[in-house]
Chain A
Amino acid sequence: DTGVSQNPRHKITKRGQNVTFRCDPISEHNRLYWYRQTLGQGPEFLTYFQNEAQLEKSRLLSDRFSAERPKGSFSTLEIQRTEQGDSAMYLCASSLSGTLEKLFFGSGTQLSVL
């Protein structure tokens, strides 16, 4: 296992379409996080899972966004009825549970909504 894997790397979609991204964390990591990053800004927290339980959601995560981690392994992030403002890099990270554990990030999925 070489790290956190995200697919696809790039996604171009038309406004109003639905998109889904996938994240495969480091295999022994039980925590998984989604962040969003726009140009010139740092990543912003969206949500996180411990095993299959979604424990926290940011207010940035509107009702058009849904994240799942059905078996406590990989996770998907779906955006319904995409808007141009959703264009961003979507980053996934994983860690072992515990305080101040290192977050390992994937390479991200770059979403462009036309």
Chain B
Amino acid sequence: SQELEQSPQSLIVQEGKNLTINCTSSKTLYGLYWYKQKYGEGLIFLMMLQKGGEEKSHEKITAKLDEKKQQSSLHITASQPSHAGIYLCGADYGGSQGNLIFGKGTKLSVKP
């Protein structure tokens, strides 16, 4: 079974709408990373969360890690076409440095 589940698998929203992507781990996280990927490109780092209850924001994107450190959410406010892409969460379980376990990603499309 997958250690890290992302939902939804894909999402289509109208420009200007808010949206949330979830990432759920089957075990306690040491750290949780969010990346964005354009089709056929590398991953762009968005945010990293470590502490339970932590919340970080950058421009219109906010990421949270729950108190139990098993679930994270990524929230985009007033979405724009530039937000379109694949959002990936990556889990660090503390065993190996840099060996992140990634979810399958959420494909976001924003309709103008």
Contact = CB atoms under 8 A, between A and B. Distances in A.
- Please say whether chains A and B are actual partners in one complex: yes
Interface of A: 4, 6, 31, 33, 40-45, 48, 50, 55-56, 58, 89, 91, 93, 95, 97, 99-108, 110
Given A43-B43, A100-B30, A106-B42, A48 B48 contact: no
Nearest to B95: A56
Contact of A107 (B4, B42, B88, B103): B42
A102 B30 contact: no
Contacts of A97: 97
Interface stretch (B14-22, B33-41, B65-73): B33-41
B45 A100 contact: no
Between B30, B43, B102, the greatest number of chain A beta carbons within 10 A of the residue's beta carbon is seen for B43
A103 B102 contact: no
Contact of B48 (A43, A55, A91, A102): A102
Contacts of B50: 100
B75 interface: no
Contact of B98 (A6, A41, A48, A110): A48
Interface string B21-36: 0000000001101010
A110 to B, nearest CB: 7
6 contacts: A45-B100, A48-B98, A48-B99, A100-B30, A100-B92, A107-B41
